[in-house]
Structure 1
Amino acid sequence: MDTLLLARLQFATTTSFHFLFVTLSLGLVVFVAGMQTAYAISGKAVYARMTKFWGTLYVINYALGIVTGLVMEFQFGLNWGGLSEVAGNVFGAPLALETLIAFFVEATFLGMWTFGWNRLPKWIHLALIWLVAAAAYASTLWVLAANAFLQNPVGHEMRDGRAYLTDFGALLRNASLTDSLLHVVSAALLAGGLFVAGISAWHFIRRTNEEDVFRRSLRWGVAAAPVGAFSIIHFGFLQEVAIERYQPMKLAVMYQEPTRLEAARQLMLQRFGPGDFAPPSWVAVPYQVMMNGAFVLALATLACLVLLFRNWLVRLRVPLYALVAMMPVPFVLVIMGWLVREVGRQPWAVYGLLTTEQAVSDVPPGLVLASYIGFTLVLGLLVVLDYWLIATFARRGPRHTLLGTTLAEPARDRLTAY
């Protein structure tokens, strides 16, 4: 195995693992903020219990997700020196903003929110979680702005073989950014909705306590999931407009239509001269999985929404099992989507500007293999730990959250503290 292949495998692995955490955090924070808003307005204690329960799961996932982000940064520095040298002056700017927001603004506000229960005024405490949510989505914007530059390099000029940023606004107006950002936001909403609905459904199946908490949570999740599912489909197809214009070979391989493939080859020949500029043909497989999976989830979640009428969703019980089974599906589709977006860009690291072969660092394959194995083990451990912690606290239910309490408080006080 050579350095380039190992570096690409490492990038695919670290990005996929990290984005699992990001997707859940983006989806779940909206529910936590919404539930706390409902409590602040209505004063009903059930919304406080909902906020603490789902907030605990959010904090767990966010904390471990930060570590996966650090691993991803390490592999960037180790494996992609050529990319940083040629294009780092451009795509490094939005990544620097993302780092400042994620590691300073977002983490600071989340820490204040986590430890501010019973210490801060109600409305200030509520504002903190909304600031956390806003910072999370701002981070997503900057990451995707950097990635959109790799898909469609704009707002720069080349000097001495290096790209220099000339129009920062062009990065935000990139045709490859807007629809992809809304696509990711939709995926997060779907994942968060099915996560909330699935865990709530599990508690109904087990007939556990806190029925009021999980009945309301179930409704919130089931109401949000089809919105996310249909939005995914909408913004997914809208992205194909930009792909057809700027990356016609990717679209041709995605659909595997002979006429379109031949037209794309001729266009690549005119643009870049002789050479093989087609991504691997297997990109069509994750594309079909993602597209068909989104349609299935859209119909299934819409059916669950209809079954909320007269509480049929709970009475029939079979839909509850279906909701539990659907929980991991959005995360599979997210990975399929990233494979299509990133592998479909091959053989370019920066489309039309820099190939992946030119972008990779000049390091021995053994070193990349060692780092790949080490990083993968760390990421795998973090995924297992995240699942175990979330599953443990999800099973225990709202009465066992420590948000808003201290270890010195008696158990009976923990149940009532806000």
Structure 2
Amino acid sequence: MGAVDLARWQFGITTVYHFLFVPLSIGLAYLIAFMQTLYVVKKDDKYKAMAKFWGKLFLLNFAVGVVTGIMQEFQFGMNWADYSRYVGAVFGGPLAVEALVSFFLESTFLGIWIFGWDKLPKKAHLAAIWLVAIGATLSALWILSANSFMQEPVGFEIVNGRAEMTDFFALLGNPQLWSEFPHVIFGALSTGALFVTGVSAYKLLRKKQTEQFKASFSIGIIVALVSSLMTAMAGHSQAQHLMESQPMKMAAAEALWDTTGEHAPWTVIAGIDSDGKKNTFSWEIPYALSILSYNKLEGSVPGINELQAEYEAKYGEGNYIPPVKTTFWSFRIMVGTGVLMILLSIFGTYAVARNRLEKFRRYLKWMIPAISLPFIANSSGWIMTEVGRQPWIVFGLQRTEDGVSPLVSKGMVLTSLIGFTVIYGLLLIALVYLMVHFIRKDPLDLDGDGEEHGHGAPKAEPTLGTL
């Protein structure tokens, strides 16, 4: 494994790790803001206590997310100097705006929200948490605008061998951005919502402050249902855009080696022989890929082999086929977990609507490990997006192997890779420990003195460690 592969592994590990925290921060921020809005409108201290409880978990997650996000940007200078030199004039703009404007907005008003309880007017304090949520969303917008340039370069020209920005607003109007952005934001809302429902389910199983956590569960499960459905719709739109911008990624995601006829089937599972450029077996749903690609029963989808020949004619000799197995299976993991999230949300919404939630104890037990589903979906979706773009680091402009730092040795990258992995692993262990400890021990603070007013749990009740 050379320096390029190690640099890719390092960036992949740190990116997926960082993206564990970003969607949860965005989703929780909106849920907390909604709960506090209910407190201001209804003047019910139950919602104030809920906002404070979830706010503490949000702060733990936010702190780790900030640390891991800073390390992400350092890597552009560490391992990807030639990439930064080539497109830094374009790529750096959105990153600078994100750091100087959006993150500043988010962190400033988060501080106001933390220390403003009972010191600011209720509506002013409520505005602070909404601005935190908006700031987090804007941060995602700027980061995605930079990523979208890597997927579909716009608003630039090559000057003296470097990409120079010619139209800043073209970056913001990039079609790739507006296919990615809704998918990411709705996915973030799903992440926050299932986190809230899973923790609330644990509290309900232990009979801890059932009225308050039933309210949290009800809010979370409705948001989970709506956002999961919207995520699926946004993902469908994004897949259709791939047919125009990156058809090779679409073909790899379907393990489609040869161009289909007018009625393209969707492959559910397949045995992929990358060396032989064929599938040894497949289970297909007739017409489904044409519907996915064009919203109609007819429509041919180009295959990998045809696209490889087309790219060779356009870009020169080389292998333009991404890792098909990784792209194919990560896409199916994302879709499978997304479907499961929708089904669990439908059942939970039914249980809440019929006021029978506490009778479905087995369902509540399922909702605790279901916290992991959106994290799996988010991670596998990003893997599919980034791996499916290979061999390009900027599609059509620069190959990944040409973007790595020329003076950074294999040993240097390996050392930093091991160091980051160990440190990030310790951070994750510490975060999970603190969150689990807080969830198990800390009640909703209904009167400001930290005392719990719910019923104690029998010793026979399940705990986080046994479910």
Report the TM range for the smaller structure's normalisation.
Answer: over 0.9
Equivalent residue in structure 1 for 2:356, among 304, 312, 335? 312
The Cα shift of 1:400 comes to 5.9
Question: Residue 332 of structure 1 aligns with which residue?
Answer: 376
2:101 and 2:329 map into 1 onto residues whose CA distance is 35
- Check if 1:244 corresponds to 2:288: no
Mapped contact 2:201–2:367 kept (Cα < 8 A): yes
What code does the residue aligned with 2:413 have? Answer: V
* Alignment: residue pair count: 407
TM-score after normalising by structure 1: 0.94
- Cα deviation code 1:87-129 (max 9, x no counterpart): 0000110011111135422111101110111211111111111
The Cα shift of 1:206 comes to 1.1
SS, match of residue 311 in structure 1: coil
Return 360-369 or 294-303, whichever deviates more. Answer: 294-303
Mapped contact 2:103–2:136 kept (Cα < 8 A): no
The Cα shift of 1:246 comes to 1.7
Mapped contact 1:89–1:165 kept (Cα < 8 A): yes
1:400 and 1:331 map into 2 onto residues whose CA distance is 29
Mapped contact 1:199–1:324 kept (Cα < 8 A): yes
Question: Residue 266 of structure 1 aligns with which residue?
Answer: 309
Higher relative contact order (CA closer than 8 Å, sequence separation 6+): 1
- Cα deviation code 1:269-328 (max 9, x no counterpart): 232122111101121111111112212221221122112232222212111011112111
What is the 5 A alignment of 1:300-379? 300-362=344-406, 363-379=408-424
Question: Residue 114 of structure 2 aligns with which residue?
Answer: 114
1:92 and 1:307 map into 2 onto residues whose CA distance is 48
Mapped contact 1:26–1:137 kept (Cα < 8 A): yes
Q: Structure 2: state its 5+ residue gaps.
A: 259-302, 454-467
Runs of 4 or more above 6 Å deviation = none
- Cα deviation code 1:339-367 (max 9, x no counterpart): 01111111111000011111000111111
The Cα shift of 1:225 comes to 0.8
Question: Residue 232 of structure 1 aligns with which residue?
Answer: 231
What code does the residue aligned with 1:56 have? Answer: K
The Cα shift of 1:16 comes to 0.5
Question: Residue 287 of structure 2 aligns with which residue?
Answer: none
Q: Structure 1: state its 5+ residue gaps.
A: none
Higher share of residues assigned helix = 1
What is the 5 A alignment of 1:263-302? 263-282=306-325, 283-302=327-346
Equivalent residue in structure 2 for 1:395, among 427, 434, 440? 440
Mapped contact 1:52–1:398 kept (Cα < 8 A): no
What code does the residue aligned with 1:392 have? Answer: H
CA RMSD of aligned residues (A): 1.7
The Cα shift of 1:232 comes to 1.6
Q: Could you tell me the percent identity over the aligned residues?
A: 41
What code does the residue aligned with 2:215 have? Answer: R
Cα distance, 1:388–1:400 mapped onto 2, change above 3 Å = farther
- Cα deviation code 1:176-221 (max 9, x no counterpart): 111211101111111111100111110111112x222101001001
SS, match of residue 177 in structure 1: helix
- Cα deviation code 1:30-51 (max 9, x no counterpart): 1100011111111101011001
- Check if 1:129 corresponds to 2:129: yes
The Cα shift of 1:258 comes to 2.4
